[in-house]
Structure 1
Amino acid sequence: MTKRKIEIMDTTLRDGEQTSGVSFSSSEKLTIAQLLLEELKVDRIEVASTRVSEGEFNAVKSITEWAKEKGYLDKIEVLSFVDNGLSIEWMKNTGAKVQNLLTKGSLNHLKYQLKKTPEQHFSEIKKVIELAVAASIKTNVYLEDWSNGMRNSEAYVYEYLDFLETQPVERILLPDTLGVLSPEESFKYLSAIRAKYPNMHIDFHAHNDYDLGVANALEGVKAGVNGLHLTVNGMGERAGNAPLASVVAVINDFLPDVEIGVNEKALYTVSKLVETFSGFRIPVNKPVLGDNVFTQTAGIHADGDSKKNLYFNDLLPERFGRKRKYALGKTSGKANIQKNLQELGLQLNDEDVLKVTQRIIELGDKKEVVTKEDLPYIISDVLDSNVYEERITIESYVLTHAKGLKPSTTVSVKIDGVLIEEHCQGDGQFDAFMNALGKVYKSKGLMLPKLTDYAVRIPPGSSSDALCETVITWKTADKTFKTRGLDSDQTVSAIKATQKMLNII
């Protein structure tokens, strides 16, 4: 079966840059253009609008110079205007060879914005196309507000398309400019145009105002369009454009008779680079690209993955250069823990896995984020607690720190079932805690070991709100030893390390 080829035109550098607060530098635009064409392998890219700024001019010039060397010049497109040839001159000076001419696709826009008749508009468009032909520039034509044109002035749209059929135009670009179409309407309008103009190359440009950009793009392909306009991460004005990654995945999985040339494995890499350059953050739950979309949180899902991949679907992370993760938290359960232990090359017996699981659940209840990198620290902390009998517990404490006052601590310690409480000040909260603890031990005729080193760290890859490990070195008359404590609070982790010391001595 011969598959129908759909062109993918990426407009991240033009329409995507209209995202509020986003502006790419010239070097960033060149880098993104190179990745889009060479790594992602989209068919064409729209890189700028004419006559915007000197920076835009320089960006387009650098892209066209690179593209000319690589043989990609006909893949570089620029949004131009019906401006009596000013856009054509601008393009000639940048070396760009394909214009996407912005024209009016609805009678309302034509009457109330331009205040012109269809005949006047068509005449001006004809002149711009003639100037483009003379400058060896190819022309594609945007019908701005085409979707509302089909709803409210269909006769005008067909009159305009009849005119364009007589012109040397490469592609007709039909945008849902305000993102108003439903999937049903997208299919209906595009099917009608496909039937009436079977030889016309038609691109569909969906916006995402109702979160229907992907669905509308899918219906456009079903209706017979030749190309789609998409953006990396769904960037664009208002709610953005139809997102490239989602549309690519949907077409590949749901339309077996359609072929697109996009390299899925490069989607995530390019997405993260565009996120960095733009500052436009990818939501963690964004399909295909979000941090959470290949993360199993529930333990039952991890268990099912181990038993014939029961919770897998066609959206395998490896397709997009990613890996499946198993989240650690209060709902993760033993199966998630085992998956993460396997990745780290660690093995525990069932009893220890249960203890580690309980500790992770405790942290999850406190809304702490636990990462795979935290696991060795948690294991060390839990297994460390197995080597001594816990005769001494720090039952409760109050730590105070106020400007202009010395930090103080009230601590309650249970030693062999007897509760002792003391209060002390110190140079810091932990120092005050140790002073109060010293008073408790002095009342029992006992001495604490000397604290000789105090080190704090968070696991690599962990976040500051997750786990903090405090390792304290202690010295008695006959030995030096270390204890460690693990908690999201630095002082609490030090107190936990201290409780271990009390039981060891």
Structure 2
Amino acid sequence: MDTTLRDGEQTSGVSFNAREKLSIARLLLEELHVSRIEIASARVSQGEQQAVRAIAEWAAAKGYADRVEALGFIDGGVSLDWLGTAGCRVVNLLAKGSRKHCEGQLRRTPERHLEDVRAEILAAVDRGMKVNLYLEDWSNGMRRSPDYVYAMLDGLADAPVSRFMCPDTLGVLDPYDTERFCRDLVERYPSLRFDFHAHNDYDLAVANTAAAVRAGFHGVHVTVNGLGERAGNAPLSSAVAVLHDRLGRTTGIDETKINRVSRTVESYTGIRIPANRPIVGASVFTQCAGIHADGDSKNNLYFNELLPERFGRVREYALGKTSGKANVLKNLEALGIDLDEAAMRKVTERVVELSDKKEQVTAEDLPYIIADVLRYDPVDTPVRILNYSLSLAQGMHPVATLRIEIHGCAYERTSAGDGQYDAFMRALRQIYREQLGREFPMLRDYTVSIPPGGRTDAFVQTIITWEMDGREFKTRGLDADQTEAAIKATVKMLNIIEINYNDNGC
């Protein structure tokens, strides 16, 4: 069960609107093929109820109504009314899974709480709803008051509950305790179905999830990108890979769609995926050490089961001081460039030299490095900026005038924009679309980094991700002015795409 839209939304600063929730629900059920999704908590807001209604209506039309769940509370039917009005047919009731929570938070005796829970379950069934039951703080319940947990399950074993869901609410378990506690319940209650719900406070959520499955639990809860309160929940991507590869289990998840869904959720939340996050991080399928690239060329010596193609990605080879000739060779092969041994050595030395200066070297930089090292004349590049003027005035849109040479032909355009770089790009797009009659790459991402220290004259590094003909690539510009850095990155992009075109005359 994916609970990105409920538990994941408890991440600090994350709030999905109704359209985003419906979009993510569609991706999870129709593309990823997640078994179930938990979409909301009852009684949050009117807007949340509208979001639940939109998803419930869509799910009913698609035949997914029994796969859409929402959290409800033991509150005398108030949550059930709220969810029923929204059209939700599956409720995950939140009961207490530890004596401490029962007596300390609810001020109820275990016996009274059990009565309340049974009454809520029956009320939900009377409304035609399917019921699952969370045992909140179950992990601490098993540690400190197992008799309380057993009494709850004994008292509800004959109740119409589809799944008993056991959360490590405070993220305190390790895999050894998880397997022991889960196996205990499976053996005591062989007729009941159990889910495990991990939190990642000790960075053990995926390991604990695997331990629960190994012990015989029937379902696990995850979130896209590991979203969730505090340190988050078990990330869907890693949990799926571990279940498939280490435990040999099947989930029905389409692994090739994981990266796309992760990036979509990243864009909605604004929370960047760490570059080294397994499966979906930007650099996890990038080989940096030259010895690894060399091994990949010799019967894939450094491959494991996590092949990037499984997840809709490709393997890359980083360029830096540890990369060596093998990494440079891999990138040149991808670019279709063939160099002799002497030239290869010079290019590799230049890559190492640039890396020692802390500059980021990318595959797209290689043609420029080659031109520099082998003393090619830089004026031979197909695109040159002849001149440009940027104006900024208070209360007026910035304006850019651009004069550019492409394959020996000069073009000029003036355009206004929402910023100086936007005005520059609008003028450039007009040249390409109106004067050249060609498509222009889509700008997919734009990041700026400034070295620490607070100096106003510090270099600005601008990295822009472009997409053209279904292929993404990045270019970098470095300058003391942010707009100039962006323009330099853009010119690099132009010279990359213009390699594919010949001079057609002016």
Q: Any idea what the Cα deviations from partners look like across 1:188-230, whole Å, max 9, x if unmatched?
A: 0000000000111100001110011011001000000000000
* Code of the aligned partner of 1:94: A
Distance in structure 2 (CA, Å) of the matches to 1:236 and 1:143: 18
- 1:56 aligns with 48
- 1:97 aligns with 89
Report how far residue 385 of structure 1 moved: 5.0
Which structure has the larger Rg over C-alpha atoms?
Answer: 1
1:259 is paired with a residue whose SS is coil
Are residues 1:297 and 2:288 paired? yes
Is the 2:193–2:218 contact (alpha carbons within 8 Å) kept by the matching residues of 1?
A: yes
Query: What is the RMSD computed on CA atoms of the aligned residues?
Result: 2.5
Q: Any idea what the Cα deviations from partners look like across 1:102-148, whole Å, max 9, x if unmatched?
A: 01000000111111111211111122112111111110000000000
- 1:264 aligns with 255
Distance in structure 2 (CA, Å) of the matches to 1:148 and 1:264: 34
Is the 1:41–1:263 contact (alpha carbons within 8 Å) kept by the matching residues of 2?
A: yes
1:228 is paired with a residue whose SS is strand
Percentage of matched positions with identical amino acids: 56
- 1:141 aligns with 133
Corresponding residue to 1:241 among 210, 221, 233: 233
User: Relative to structure 1, is the Cα distance of residues 328 and 79 closer, same or farther in structure 2, using a 3 angstrom cutoff?
Assistant: same
- 1:347 aligns with 338
Are residues 1:365 and 2:352 paired? no
Report how far residue 462 of structure 1 moved: 9.6
Corresponding residue to 1:377 among 346, 349, 368: 368
1:143 is paired with a residue whose SS is strand
User: Relative to structure 1, is the Cα distance of residues 490 and 16 closer, same or farther in structure 2, using a 3 angstrom cutoff?
Assistant: closer
Counting only pairs closer than 5 Å after superposition, residues 87-486 of structure 1 correspond to structure 2 as 87-256=79-248, 258-384=249-375
Is the 1:230–1:241 contact (alpha carbons within 8 Å) kept by the matching residues of 2?
A: yes
User: Relative to structure 1, is the Cα distance of residues 467 and 364 closer, same or farther in structure 2, using a 3 angstrom cutoff?
Assistant: farther
Distance in structure 1 (CA, Å) of the matches to 2:370 and 2:376: 10
Q: Any idea what the Cα deviations from partners look like across 1:392-412, whole Å, max 9, x if unmatched?
A: xxxxxxxxxxxxxxxxxxxxx
Is the 2:371–2:377 contact (alpha carbons within 8 Å) kept by the matching residues of 1?
A: no
Can you give the 5+ residue segments of structure 1 that lack an aligned partner in the other structure?
A: 1-8, 388-451, 469-485, 494-505
Report how far residue 383 of structure 1 moved: 2.3
- 2:473 aligns with none
Report how far residue 381 of structure 1 moved: 2.2
Report how far residue 279 of structure 1 moved: 1.1
Residues 120-129 or 105-114, more deviating: 120-129
User: Relative to structure 1, is the Cα distance of residues 81 and 341 closer, same or farther in structure 2, using a 3 angstrom cutoff?
Assistant: same
- 2:60 aligns with 68
1:142 is paired with a residue whose SS is strand
> What count of residue pairs does the alignment treat as equivalent?
401
TM-score by length of 2: 0.76
Is the 1:330–1:365 contact (alpha carbons within 8 Å) kept by the matching residues of 2?
A: yes
1:10 is paired with a residue whose SS is coil
1:55 is paired with a residue whose SS is helix
Distance in structure 2 (CA, Å) of the matches to 1:37 and 1:462: 31
Q: Any idea what the Cα deviations from partners look like across 1:237-265, whole Å, max 9, x if unmatched?
A: 00100111111101111112x22111111
Is the 1:373–1:462 contact (alpha carbons within 8 Å) kept by the matching residues of 2?
A: no
- 1:479 aligns with none
With a CA cutoff of 8 Å and minimum separation of 6, indicate the structure with the bigger relative contact order: 1
- 1:6 aligns with none
* Code of the aligned partner of 2:72: S
* Code of the aligned partner of 1:77: E
TM-score by length of 1: 0.76
1:99 is paired with a residue whose SS is strand
Distance in structure 2 (CA, Å) of the matches to 1:80 and 1:30: 20
- 1:5 aligns with none
* Code of the aligned partner of 2:370: I
Q: Please identify runs of 4+ aligned residues in structure 1 that moved more than 4 A.
A: 459-468, 486-493
